[in-house]
Structure formats: structure tokens, C-alpha cells
């Protein structure tokens, strides 16, 4: 099942997820660096990582929702996609609450709750990332029909030809 929203022949949703995933994870890393060192610069960087990570997460969610909406109803992919999407929204919500608690002075963590929320969100992200992998690598969501090891470049503007069992191209 191909993605509905593409840029230069590739689905947008997987392009966008790396930004919030990396920023939110690094927010947690910088929180840990702050706790260990006491250097407020780390808490400040964590705040800004979480800030941009939340915005990026919402952007990725929009394109993920568009792709999910086109998955046929009553399929395992649709259910897994729902768990993946709702789980990621909960993660963004946990980080948003963590961000809000940091607002009075984001150069330090006033109590352990913002860190704990980020830790829970990061742990959940491991599970939802696995669900995303299940969607793509096991269920073929957002994969071009007929994708194969010798498919033409997405920039070539040609459709991917389906493959027969012996590897020969089959006309579509």
C-alpha cells in the first residue's frame, strides 16, 4: 500500500519522524546531563529540544494520519496504525506537559516530574517505533507496489514494475 503524501517519490511521514524522535530523545539526554553536572545549560538545551520536538511530532502526526486514513478498514495494519498513532500522540502529550512544567524557568528542572514524563515518553517511543516498523516492514504500509531491489529511482518518474517469482518484470 503506497503512501498518499509523497515528496520526490518518497512518503513524507517517515521523513519527518526522525526530527521529533531525535530531539525528544536528546531532550532526555540533556536532562540527564543536567542532573549529573548541575550545569543549567543542559537544562536549557533540553527545554529547546523538547519544544521543537513537540512541533515536529505534531507535523509528523498530520502526515501519518493521512496515510493511516487510507489503510483499508478491518485490517491488522489499520489496528496497528491506530495503536502507533495514538501512542505517539500520548508521547507528544507527555512531553508537552513536561515542557509546560519547565516554562517558569527552563534553565533548571524544578522537580523530577518533567524528567519522569520525558523518561516515560521515551520508553513509549521504543514501543511505537516498533509498531511503525511492523507497519512498514511486515505489513508493507507506505511501500510502493512492486518495490524490488532493481526498481528505478523515484526521481525517474516511472512506476515500479511488479516482479514475478523468477525476478522478471511483469507488465502492469
**Could you report the average pLDDT of every consecutive run of 10 residues in the chain (172 residues)?**
75 87 95 92 94 96 92 94 96 96 79 90 95 91 82 75 55 45
pLDDT of residue 52: 97
Cβ-Cβ contacts under 8 Å for 148 (sequence gap 6 or more): 160, 163, 167
Stated pTM of the model: 0.83
User: How far is Cα 76 from Cα 153, in angstroms, rounded to an integer?
Assistant: 30
CA distance 69 to 63: 10
pLDDT of residue 171: 46
Instruction: Report the distance separating Cα 57 and Cα 92, nearest Å.
Output: 7
Residue in the structure block whose three cell numbers are 503524501? 5
Q: CB–CB of 135/91 below 8 Å?
A: no
Amino acid at each position: 500500500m503506497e503512501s498518499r503524501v509523497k515528496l520526490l517519490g518518497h512518503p513524507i511521514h517517515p521523513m519527518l519522524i526522525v526530527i521529533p524522535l531525535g530531539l525528544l530523545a536528546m531532550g532526555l539526554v540533556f536532562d540527564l546531563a543536567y542532573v549529573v553536572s548541575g550545569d543549567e545549560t543542559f537544562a536549557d538545551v533540553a527545554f529547546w529540544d523538547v519544544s521543537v520536538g513537540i512541533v515536529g511530532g505534531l507535523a509528523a502526526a498530520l502526515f501519518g494520519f493521512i496515510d493511516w486514513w487510507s489503510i483499508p478498514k478491518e485490517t491488522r495494519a489499520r489496528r496497528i496504525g491506530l495503536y502507533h498513532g495514538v501512542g505517539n500522540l500520548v508521547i507528544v502529550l507527555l512531553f508537552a506537559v513536561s515542557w509546560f512544567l519547565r516554562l517558569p524557568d527552563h534553565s533548571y528542572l524544578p522537580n523530577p516530574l518533567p524528567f519522569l514524563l520525558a523518561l516515560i515518553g521515551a520508553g513509549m517511543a521504543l514501543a511505537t517505533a516498533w509498531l511503525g516498523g511492523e507497519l512498514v516492514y511486515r505489513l508493507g504500509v507506505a511501500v510502493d507496489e512492486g518495490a524490488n531491489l532493481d526498481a528505478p529511482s523515484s526521481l525517474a518518474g516511472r512506476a515500479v514494475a511488479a516482479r514475478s517469482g523468477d525476478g522478471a518484470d511483469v507488465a502492469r
